[in-house]
Structure 1
């Protein structure tokens, strides 16, 4: 009987420990490796707070036509398709905080990961402009 109780206690402890390990978030992972760049997914509201409270570079990774149709004020256009193995000329500072967006969130995630691979250190993906509750500006 004692062995059964000991086995049950051990099994419960292992289950709890493995549950704790599996519950780590992306933010936890980023904190575990200080000094290493990591992918950060944030909301449009968090993005807006960063825009008004600190120096950031807002990066639109859509096409020129989409950008001209309406974009976030002061956003830099760097189409996702143009991000390759070289640092984009319009983003010369790899230490700058970059806030990336596209139309729906697919291209922004792809672009954010490519920029991290190029050595950018502070990259935040806030998804698609379709979820942006604030004003957009249009060219022309």
Structure 2
């Protein structure tokens, strides 16, 4: 009987250790300044602006429709609608290791696009939600 109790107690301690370790991993990711998902990460618009200030070689990718892009977009952004990623993306984004900042209107399509880009082999994709959260310059070229 003592062996059974000891075995149960040992299993409970091991389970608690595994849970603690899993929680610590999530806390570490949160402290790194963004949520990592696959091979893309998510930050808010303010953090994206700060990262852009520090980066030297990056692309800002607007994944809204061409019509939405024409109504106003972040200065310097390239428009590749989410629906077309996979077809024309390699022509406009030939460097798979280049930092790509991805946004849409509210954040839904940019998450979808970031997942697609990661699946296509892009290694430094930063999703920052929607243009509605952007405090920087918006142009209508």
TM-score, normalisation: structure 2: 0.78
Residue of structure 1 in register with 2:108 after alignment: 106
Contact 1:62 1:102 in 2 (8 A): yes
**Shift, 1:95, TM fit:** 1.2
Note closer, same or farther for the CA distance 1:38–1:25 as it changes in structure 2 (3 Å cut): farther
| Contact 2:82-2:113 at 8 Å conserved across structures | yes
Distance in structure 1 (CA, Å) of the matches to 2:126 and 2:15: 35
Q: Structure 2 CA distance, aligned partners of 1:26 and 1:124?
A: 19
SS in 1 for 2:92: coil
What does 1:1-140 correspond to in 2, within 5 Å? 8=9, 11-12=12-13, 14-25=15-26, 28=29, 38-55=39-56, 56-84=58-86, 87-139=89-141
Query: What is the DSSP-based 3-state SS (H/G/I as helix, E as strand, rest coil) of the residue aligned with 2:75?
Result: coil
CA pair 87-138 structure 1, distance change in 2 beyond 3 A: closer
| Alignment coverage as a number of residue pairs | 131
After superposition, the Cα gap between the structure-2 partners of 1:86 and 1:79, relative to the gap in structure 1 and judged at 3 Å, is closer
Q: Which runs of 5+ in 2 are unaligned?
A: 33-37
- Following the alignment from structure 1 to structure 2, what is the Cα–Cα distance between the partners of residues 127 and 26? 22
Residues 71-109 of structure 1 show CA distances to partners (whole Å, capped at 9, x for unaligned) of 111001111111125643111111110000000001001
What does the per-residue CA deviation read over 1:6-55, in whole Å, with 9 as the maximum and x for residues that have no partner? 85576245324323214433974xx9xxxxx7120011111101111112
Q: TM-score, normalised by structure 1?
A: 0.79
